[in-house]
Amino acid sequence: MEEIILLIVALGALGAIGVGMVLLYLYFRAGRAEKRGGEPVVYGNLVQCPNCGYMNPLNSAACLHCRQPLPRARAYQPPPPADYDVSFRPTLPPQQYTPPMSGAPTSQGYLPPAIAPAAPIAPAVPAAGVVAPAPVGPTVPAAPLAAPAIPGPVPVPPNPPAELPPGMPRAWFECIGGVLMGHTIFLEKVDTLVGRSTQCDIQVYDPKVSRRHFMIRFSNQTFFLQDQQSSRGTMINGERVNAQKLNDGDRVEAGDTSLIFHIHT
C-alpha cells in the first residue's frame, strides 16, 4: 500500500514540474514578443516579424523563419525629428526691389548694356571733280548672348549589367575597405545574398564575414538590407541593424569589409 502511495506522489510531482516548465516557457516567450514590439511592421510589400526580425511577404499569416503569427500589420512611419516643431512656419523678410544693372541677366531675358550715343561726324569736303560718298553711321555691336547652362553628366561606373529585372533601377556597391577594396559590384537580382559561402551571389573572402551574412532585397521601388543572423552583425552608417532601408551613399560594414551603396535614378 505504501508503494502505491509513493508512486502516486511521484507522478503528481512530475506532473507539477512539467506544468511549471510549460508555464515558464510561455511566460518567457510572451515577454520576448512584448520586448520586440509585439506587432509586425510593413515595409512596402514586405512585413517584418516582431519576434525574429525576418522580412516576409506582405500576405504571410506567419513568419517563414520562426513560425510566429503575423496579425495586424501596420505601415512603417519614420519618427519625426526630436527638435521638430509642428507649429513653426518659416516666413521670409520683405525684400526691396533693386533694378537690374546693364548687361546683367534678368527673369525676362538678357538686358543689353547701354550704349552711349556716338558724336556726329562732320562730312569731308570733296576735292574738285570727286564725288564724296555718303557718310556711314556708326555700327552698333550686337549684344552677346548668354550661353545656356549645361548640366554635368551623372557619374555611372563602367561596364554596367546588360539586363535588370523589370522596374529595378541600377544599383551597385563601391568597395572601400577589406578584401574587395577597389572593386565595383552591381546588383543584378531582386534578392542578392552576400556572405563567405560559394553559394552566395556576392562572395566575400573575409574570415569575419558569416557564410550567409546579409541579403539585399528590392521591393516596391526600394532596396532593403536584411541581416541573415550573422555572428558579428551588419552595420549601416556605424549602427548595427537587423533590417533597414538602403539610401544612396549609405556605408555597409560586414567584418573588415566596407561597402558604399549607390543607386542611379
How far is 68 from 52, CA to CA, in rounded Å? 9
How far is 153 from 12, CA to CA, in rounded Å? 80
Residue 108 covered by a domain: no
Virtual CA dihedral for 99, 101, 103, 106, nearest 10 degrees?
-30
How far is 201 from 111, CA to CA, in rounded Å? 60
Q: pLDDT value at position 27?
A: 76
Q: pLDDT value at position 248?
A: 94
Residue 101 covered by a domain: no
Residue 48 covered by a domain: yes
What is the C-alpha radius of gyration for the chain, rounded to an integer number of angstroms? 37
Residue 163 covered by a domain: no
How far is 241 from 43, CA to CA, in rounded Å? 15
Where b means 16+ CB within 10 Å and e means fewer, 235-248 reads bbeeeebbbbebee
| C-alpha distance from residue 219 to each of 39, 135, 186, 190, 249 (Å) | 21, 78, 17, 8, 19
Q: pLDDT value at position 154?
A: 45
pLDDT (tens, 9 = 90+) of the chain, 265 residues, equals 778 888 888 888 888 888 888 888 887 776 655 555 567 777 777 888 888 888 888 778 888 888 888 776 555 556 666 665 656 666 666 666 666 565 555 555 555 555 656 666 665 555 555 555 555 555 655 655 655 555 544 444 555 556 788 889 999 999 999 888 999 999 999 999 999 999 999 999 899 999 999 999 998 889 999 999 999 999 999 999 999 999 999 999 999 999 999 998 7
| Owning domain of residue 73 | 37-78
Count how many domains the chain has. 2
Instruction: Select from 63, 78, 93 the last residue of a domain.
Output: 78
Instruction: Select from 46, 78, 110 the last residue of a domain.
Output: 78
Q: pLDDT value at position 152?
A: 47
State whether the Cα torsion 244-245-249-252 is positive or negative: positive
How far is 42 from 50, CA to CA, in rounded Å? 11
Residue 114 covered by a domain: no
Residue 221 covered by a domain: yes
Instruction: Select from 45, 78, 111 the last residue of a domain.
Output: 78
Residue 1 covered by a domain: no
Strand partners, 75: 42
User: Concatenated DSSP letters for 92-150?
Assistant: PPP----PPPTT-EETTEE-PPP-PPPPPPPPPPPPTT-PPPPPPPPPPPPPPPPPPP-
Q: pLDDT value at position 101?
A: 62
For the whole model, what pTM was predicted?
A: 0.43
Q: pLDDT value at position 115?
A: 63
Q: pLDDT value at position 73?
A: 54
Residue 58 covered by a domain: yes
Sheet of strand 251-254: strand arrangement:
184-186, 170-177, 257-264, 251-254, 234-236, 239-241
Instruction: For residue 244, give the CATH number of its domain.
Output: 2.60.200.20
Strand partners, 174: 184, 260
The residue among 32, 265, 44, 62 whose CA lies nearest residue 169 is 265
Q: pLDDT value at position 124?
A: 59
Q: Regarding beta strands 202-203 and 191-195, do their DSSP bridges make them parallel or antiparallel, or are they unpaired?
A: parallel
